[in-house]
Amino acid sequence: MLVALAALLLGIYALVDCLRTTGSEVRGLPVPVWVAVIVLLPVVGPLAWLVAGRSHRRSGPAQPSSRGSAPKGPDDDEDFLRSLDRKDLGDL
């Protein structure tokens, strides 16, 4: 009983995840084919989707690449720090 429930939940999760994934984020097969695989092959289909079908994107905002990314704040920008007049900072 518990195994059947786990298989059902896995299938529902994989199906919803597949349907919410855009075509450019899917690997291997088109989304409609993945949906058929998930529905027609219980346990194996959802596992195949989770392992091979979806791209391994991370939820949340995309992280900027370390190369060529903008500084996070003025104190991270070396050009800004170099441009500061150190004599004026003594008054603070």
* Interacting residues of 30 by C-beta distance below 8 A, sequence separation 6+: 23
Q: Could you report the per-residue pLDDT of 6-24, keeping only the tens digit for each? A: 999 999 999 999 999 888 8
Compute how many other C-beta atoms are within 10 angstroms of the C-beta atom of residue 46: 25
CA-nearest of 48, 46, 54 to 13 is: 46
**Helix and strand counts by DSSP (H, E) for the chain:** 5, 0
pTM of the model: 0.59
Q: What is the DSSP letter of 26?
A: B
pLDDT of residue 23: 81
Q: Could you report the per-residue pLDDT of 46-76, keeping only the tens digit for each? A: 999 999 887 765 555 555 555 556 656 766 7
How is residue 28 written in tokens?
């291997």
For residues 85 and 39, which has the higher predicted lDDT (pLDDT)? 39
